[in-house]
Amino acid sequence: MKKISTLILLLAISSISYAQIKQESRYFIQESKTSHGSVYYISHSENMPKIKDAKLIFSSTSSDILQQIKPKSGDQILFESGDFFQGSLNIEAQGKLNAPIKISRFGKGNRPVLDGNGAKAVISLLNPAYFVIENLEIMNEKGDYGILIEAKNSGELKNITIQDCEIHSVFLASKKKEVATNDDNKYHGGIKVIIYKGEQPSWWNGFVVQRNYIHNLGLCGFSIRSEYLLHKNARGNEAPFPSFNVLMENNSIKNIIRDGVIMAEVDGAIMQYNELCRIGQMGLANGIWFWDAQNSVIQRNIGYECHSFQNDGGPFSIDYYSTNCAIQYNYSYNNDGPGMMAFGNHESGKGNLIKGNVSYNDNRMNQDDGFAAITILSAATEVIVEDNTVIAGSGTNYLVDHLDWEGKPLDVLYRNNKFYGNNNAQFGRFLNTGAKFEGNIFTNVPNLPENIIGEKNQTIFDKKFADKLAKKLNVGVQKSDFLVK
């Protein structure tokens, strides 16, 4: 009995001590001066860490203290590794070419965790330039965004970088169907970048998102767009102001309620070497896609297990108002929707390319008429689909098809593609208009029209066969330490 009483007492003391520690934890902000600018060291603990040449400037039990930091060019805001911070940063500032502003970490250990705790965003930036966010773990279950970057009346804004971060558990209200399927919430999620109309236009020149792990959040992993529309039939008589040098590479994007990545109003953007998995858990969604873009590329990515609420449900897409864009050298497999899609409509969708991709067991879900492993939609013109390999899996319904989405495809050339069927997956039913076929190979496809010659082959075209072809494409996340704490 005495031993039991002693144990209870020890547990009580332990509990009290933990509560006291939590209560006594404080936010400390220390500052050191360098030739480039100030370095702000932020800690959240019961004892202030000793930092050489740094002086304490703020101390509080409240995270509101973070709003006291007003960085200038060359300044750094560093959170202590291994610490947990609740609150938000709201910054309106710009760095310079050789003196960027940086939000990062200091010390050894796991990335510091920044929890927005219901704030609109964990980190909010207004009109930033020459700005770096890196080496942080960001979450905001009750809030709308992990990172929110906005611009208005600022002209050209250069060189924004988000790298080596883990962003998760944001906008979890989206787990409710009525929230997830409401398009007003479509861009809520991990990282939102938006340009608003104003008295003068704004645009990005140099926006890099690399080596991040974006996962388990809703509704969108990353989006970048502008209210200054690009395509003539979208913007009317207004002048276009697209963003340039937008790059998204080496990111792992998994378990997103709706879309993985949306890029709009961009010129020359590149999305490459990314991994997409389990996108589109509710609502219409795709993995990574362009809307109202030009001269932009989706290449050397891997996308699998993307889901569909009804339609869409694929990893790679060129959507409305996009011209001279490409989906090339990607690997898609086991997706509910098409591996690759290209839209037309409203005299857009011109000059797009789908080239050198490998698709396996895509179009697994019974969708609207016209969906297939490769799908061209709407009044697309001057589209080339070439050198792709499409392999039917056990779930594949159609290998290739056209879809009448407010208009039928008008001019699509299929050249030197290989379609490997399984004597079950079919040739599309709506390819009788707008499609021209040159030098394609159709193997074990049961319902080919009379003007297309197919062949029979006993070779097993399975996932191993697809993996072997995809290996040559060098797809997915390349060597990276972004998952290393």
What is the chain's Cα-based Rg?
25
Helix (H, G, I), strand (E, B) or coil at 62: coil
Domain ranges of the chain: 107-471
Q: How far apart are CA 391 and CA 400, in angstroms?
A: 11
User: At residue 483, does pLDDT exceed 70?
Assistant: no
Please provide the distance, in angstroms rounded to a whole number, between the alpha carbons at the two ends of the chain: 46
pLDDT of residue 198: 96
Tokens standing for 411?
């001019």
For the stretch 178-223, pLDDT in tens is 998 898 999 999 999 999 999 999 999 999 999 999 999 999 999 9
Q: Residues 410-428: what's their mean pLDDT?
A: 96
Q: Which CATH architecture has domain 107-471?
A: 3 Solenoid (2.160)
DSSP state of 459: -
User: At residue 18, does pLDDT exceed 50?
Assistant: no
Q: How far apart are CA 426 and CA 28, in angstroms?
A: 65
Q: 343: closest CA among 285, 267, 290?
A: 290
pLDDT of residue 482: 57
pLDDT of residue 480: 63
Asked if 90 and 119 touch (Cβ cutoff 8 Å), the reply is no
pLDDT of residue 348: 79
pLDDT of residue 406: 86
Q: Which residue has the tokens 């079950």?
A: 424
Confidence of residue 354 (pLDDT cuts 50, 70, 90): very high
Averaged pLDDT score across all residues of the chain: 91
pLDDT of residue 13: 30
User: At residue 367, does pLDDT exceed 80?
Assistant: no
